């Protein structure tokens, strides 16, 4: 079925007076006595193209049958449009009705709530908002891969099914092929996972970082970009049970180099989206989050500040502002604090570094003060934390002590310790949730609306 993308017609990759064949779905149709006007959209770009069908054409009955949502193939001549808001229109010579939309088509021309559209996630991509979201999501994915590829990072597919993270089992999904009703039991009357598919208990991964460290210890620079999972019973606009994470990891790199990369990364992805998704971003700017384009451009132009956690706590203590969570050295910095720091105190993106050891993960590198670790979070206006990372503990003895402190079993992580035994290196990396990045780029407020088919407590539809 040779046809042209509507995007190519609108961008005049086809010429005026050229015959074109286009396919798409009817957004609206207006009929006058002598003509019908159809807005046809094929999802290749935000805009629809206007098709004008003379009532005299042989296939005009197809036009009259083409209800909203129906799919058409139209052959006609590309013409300069006299109408406002469009440069181009198609004067139809032949209209073929590929598929009619039943009259109960749920996307009739009117505003639908995002909540309602979530219940028809298989169709919502045909709306302006969701078409734009998923084109931006695509462009951001490509930007991520291109950014790392250009810088010599190797894309690493870390395993989804894992036996090694089981320590944090409370928030993990179990993966099994055992009989769910009557699982085999061992001598201790516990489920006998030695009889399970993998011969031990397995779960869905919560992060590819540990495996990324292994690969960085051979290839220097790697990154992951794949699905990760949390079995948290959180029904909030910021949580998903299944989401995509990006995790670069670099050997021969310290916390400073890690921040340099994070900064370059954020600027790169934003610049790419502003350049490559103009029409979609204008829609978000007008209808979803007013001023988002300026806000993103500002971020790209800003200096990124770097302050320590201890400095951040002092700033929060001195703030003439009351916070829901009281401020005290040693606490977790909450979103309200993050937003104050970046939006009001510094008015620019800021890396907060060197967090208290006790509130951070076992693998973060202990600073010389022995109280803090070489961690960093990047905070940005409108969102708060967008990236979290650290230099990793490369010293075998220190790491072992940390694991003991966190009650982690050495034997389970012997492979992780091995890379400290055999040519260990200072290394660092960070992680960011891809959906939160898309929320930040589009202004969409609910994380369920930036992933094709969201998985949340009680919902695994489609």
Binders of a copy of itself in range 363-422 (CB under 8 A): 394, 415-416, 418-422
Tokens (6 digits) for 425:
């290196």
Kindly identify the residues of this chain, within the stretch 77-116, that bind a copy of itself according to CB under 8 A.
98-102, 105, 107
Q: How far is the CB of 81 from a copy of itself (least distance, A)?
A: 22
Q: Which helix (H) or strand (E) holds 212?
A: helix 209-219
- Least distance in angstroms from the C-beta of 189 to a copy of itself: 8
Token readout for 92 is: 């139809």
- Token reading at 423: 């040519």
Nearer to a copy of itself, 247 or 338 (CB): 247
Q: Which of residues 234-253 bind a copy of itself (CB under 8 A)?
A: 241-242, 244, 251-253
φ, ψ of residue 219 in degrees (nearest 5): -110, 0
Residue 401: CB minimum distance to a copy of itself, A:
18
Instruction: Give the span between the Cα atoms of 187 and 237, in whole angstroms.
Output: 45
149 to 178, contacts with a copy of itself by CB under 8 A?
Answer: 149, 152, 154-164, 173-178
Helix axes 255-276, 128-150, angle to 10 degrees: 140
Binding residue for a copy of itself, selected from 11, 233, 234, 236, defined by CB under 8 A: 233
Query: Among residues 334 and 412, whose Cβ is nearest to a copy of itself?
Result: 412
Site for a copy of itself in 185-214 (CB under 8 A): 185, 190-191, 197-200, 202, 204, 211, 214
Distance CA 462, CA 455 (A): 10
**Region 26-45 residues binding a copy of itself, contact defined as CB under 8 A:** 26, 42-44
| Between 46 and 362, CB nearer to a copy of itself | 46
Residue 263 near residue 256, CB atoms below 8 Å: no
Backbone phi and psi for residue 276, each to the nearest 5 degrees, phi listed first: -100, -10
Contacts with a copy of itself in 60-79 (CB under 8 A)?
69-71, 73
CA distances from 180 to 166, 171, 195, 326, 460 (A): 19, 19, 13, 46, 19
Query: Which of 12, 300, 359, 460 is the binder for a copy of itself (CB under 8 A)?
Result: 460
Q: How many residues does the chain have?
A: 462
Question: Within 10 A of 152 (CB to CB), how many other CB atoms are there?
Answer: 10
Piece of 118-126, 313-321, 331-339, 356-364 that binds a copy of itself (CB under 8 A): 118-126
Residue 288 vs 417, nearer CB to a copy of itself: 417
Q: Shortest Cβ distance from residue 252 to a copy of itself (Å)?
A: 4
Mark the segment that binds a copy of itself (CB under 8 A) among 145-153, 312-320, 335-343, 351-359.
Answer: 145-153
Say whether residue 184 binds a copy of itself (CB under 8 A).
no
| Calculated CA dihedral for residues 171, 248, 370, 308, nearest 10 degrees | -100
CB of 293 to a copy of itself, least distance (A): 22
Q: Is residue 296 at the binding interface for a copy of itself, with CB under 8 A as the rule? A: no
Place of tokens 């670069």: 248
CB of 380 to a copy of itself, least distance (A): 23
CB atoms within 10 A of CB 95: 24
Q: Is 227 a binder of a copy of itself (CB under 8 A)?
A: yes
Residue 415's Cβ-count burial label (10 Å; 0-12, 13-18, 19+) is exposed
- The nearest distance, CB 61 to a copy of itself, in angstroms, is 17
In angstroms, how far apart are the furthest CA atoms of the chain?
85
Phi, psi of 69, rounded to the nearest 5 degrees: 95, -15
- Closest CB to a copy of itself among residues 176, 310: 176
Q: Of residues 180, 322, 324, 407, which one binds a copy of itself by CB under 8 A?
A: 180
Alpha helices in 284-373 (DSSP H): 292-301, 309-318, 335-339
Half-sphere exposure (Cβ direction) of 109: Cα atoms closer than 13 Å: 8
Interactions with a copy of itself, residue window 122-141 (CB under 8 A): 122-123, 125-126, 130-131, 134-135, 137-138, 141
């Amino acid at each position: 079925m040779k046809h042209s993308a509507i995007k190519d017609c609108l961008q005049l990759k086809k010429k005026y007076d050229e015959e074109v064949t286009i396919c798409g779905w009817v957004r609206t149709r207006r009929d006058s006595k002598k003509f019908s006007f159809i807005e046809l959209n094929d999802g290749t770009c935000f805009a629809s193209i206007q098709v004008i069908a003379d009532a005299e054409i042989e296939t005009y009955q197809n036009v009259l049958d083409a209800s909203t949502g129906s799919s058409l193939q139209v052959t006609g001549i590309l013409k300069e449009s006299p109408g406002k808001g469009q440069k181009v229109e198609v004067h139809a010579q032949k209209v073929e009705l590929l598929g009619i939309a039943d009259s109960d088509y749920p996307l009739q021309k009117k505003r639908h709530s995002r909540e309602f559209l979530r219940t028809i996630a298989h169709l919502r991509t045909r709306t302006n908002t969701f078409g734009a979201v998923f084109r931006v999501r695509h462009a951001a994915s490509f930007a991520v891969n291109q950014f790392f590829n250009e810088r010599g990072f190797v894309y690493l597919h870390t395993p989804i099914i894992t036996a090694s993270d089981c320590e944090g089992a409370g928030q993990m999904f179990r993966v099994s092929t055992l009989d769910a009703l009557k699982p085999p039991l061992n001598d201790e009357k516990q489920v006998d996972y030695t009889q399970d598919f993998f011969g031990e208990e397995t779960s869905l991964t919560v992060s590819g970082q540990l495996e990324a460290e292994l690969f960085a210890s051979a290839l220097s620079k790697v990154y992951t970009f794949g699905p990760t999972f949390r079995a948290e019973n959180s029904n909030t606009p910021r949580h998903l049970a299944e989401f995509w994470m990006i995790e670069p990891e670099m050997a021969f790199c310290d916390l400073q180099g890690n921040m340099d990369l994070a900064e370059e990364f954020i600027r790169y992805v934003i610049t790419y989206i502003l350049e490559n998704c103009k029409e979609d971003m204008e829609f978000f700017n007008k209808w979803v989050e007013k001023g988002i384009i300026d806000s993103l451009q500002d971020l790209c132009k800003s200096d990124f500040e770097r302050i320590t956690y201890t400095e951040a706590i002092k700033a929060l203590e001195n703030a003439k502002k009351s916070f829901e969570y009281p401020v005290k050295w040693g606490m977790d910095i909450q979103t309200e604090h993050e937003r104050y720091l970046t939006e009001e105190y510094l008015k620019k993106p800021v890396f907060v570094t060197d967090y208290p050891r006790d509130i951070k993960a076992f693998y973060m590198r202990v600073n010389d003060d022995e109280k803090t670790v070489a961690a960093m979070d990047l905070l940005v206006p409108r969102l708060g934390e967008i990236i979290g990372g650290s230099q990793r503990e490369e010293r075998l003895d220190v790491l072992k002590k940390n694991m003991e402190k966190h009650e982690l079993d050495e034997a389970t992580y012997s492979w992780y310790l091995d890379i400290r035994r055999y040519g260990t290196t200072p290394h660092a990396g960070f992680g960011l949730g891809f959906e939160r990045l898309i929320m930040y780029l589009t202004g969409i407020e609910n994380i369920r609306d930036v992933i094709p088919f969201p998985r949340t407590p009680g919902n695994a539809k489609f």
